[in-house]
Amino acid sequence: MSRRDIGTVVALAILLACIAFAKKATDGCAGNLAGLAGEGATAPEPEDVDKELAAAKALPPAGRLETHLKWIALGSPLATISLETWLESDFPAGSLTATQRASLAETVLESPSRSLRKAAAGALLGDNSLPADGPAHIGCRRVRGELGAKAMREQAGKALGDPEAARWLAAHGPGAMKHLLRALDKGTSGAQAGLRALSRSYPETRRDAISELIPRLRDASKVDAALPALKEIADMDLGTDPEVWEDWWRKLSERLEQLER
């Protein structure tokens, strides 16, 4: 089997896993549990969750928050309700360290669980440390459902000259892809990070991103930015020859179409 054929098989497996994961990582807690804990996992018992959340009240805010996020990742509606109540009442502003804020930002941008993204965004907003009306602040509010598509369009304009704004475009969902590709074409450094985050938080967008990036390999003005992004999102390196990438993607697409029939 040639290197290209091996790459096709590997990519096929990765893409199928992403597509399957995307279908499971829905709003419902059962969907989040299936996506994050695996098939056949048992939902957490409310009594266990309630007991640990009650004990976590004695922990520092960061530890209490981690306890909530752990159970939310496992699909507990009780943990989601408990965190929302805490955020609305006495969540202490300024209690998170820079490292914790960075970890929460990564969760907001890259977690395929909508419940977990929303929880992390709420914690960042509750910490009140994000610059008001900055890309991270607006992105978190969009994840929380507090802002609509107008916010994405406004941020898309800023993303052309602001790496952080480009990265945070991923928080606006699949509709941000066209804006991220435009920022990538303009050479904005944060655009590749935004595309990577989008492909992780919304795995179903991975195929669209690859389809858009491969033709850019034949454009001398876009190839330098497109190739690194393509390698990262495709999770492989087939070199610099556009024909090799096109042949690989054609074969992979044909196999995916056959499997989806």
Q: pLDDT tens track of the chain, all 261 residues?
A: 454 554 544 454 445 444 443 433 333 333 333 234 333 456 789 999 999 999 999 999 999 999 999 999 999 999 999 999 999 999 999 999 999 999 999 999 999 999 999 999 999 999 999 999 899 999 999 999 999 999 999 999 999 989 999 999 999 999 999 999 999 999 998 999 999 999 999 999 999 999 999 999 999 999 999 999 999 999 999 999 999 999 999 999 898 888 877
Whole-number Å distance between alpha carbons of 194 and 138: 15
Three-state SS letters, 195-232: HHHHHHHCHHHHHHHHHHHHHHHHCCCCHHHHHHHHHH
The closest alpha carbon to 146, from 164, 167, 124, 165, belongs to 124
Per DSSP, 161 falls in state T
| Alpha-helix runs per DSSP H in the chain | 3-24, 29-37, 46-56, 61-73, 77-89, 98-110, 114-127, 135-143, 149-159, 163-168, 177-185, 190-201, 206-213, 223-234, 242-260
Structure-block tokens of residue 260: 């989806």
Rounded to two decimals, the pTM is 0.82
Per DSSP, 100 falls in state H
Domain extent listing, the chain: 44-129
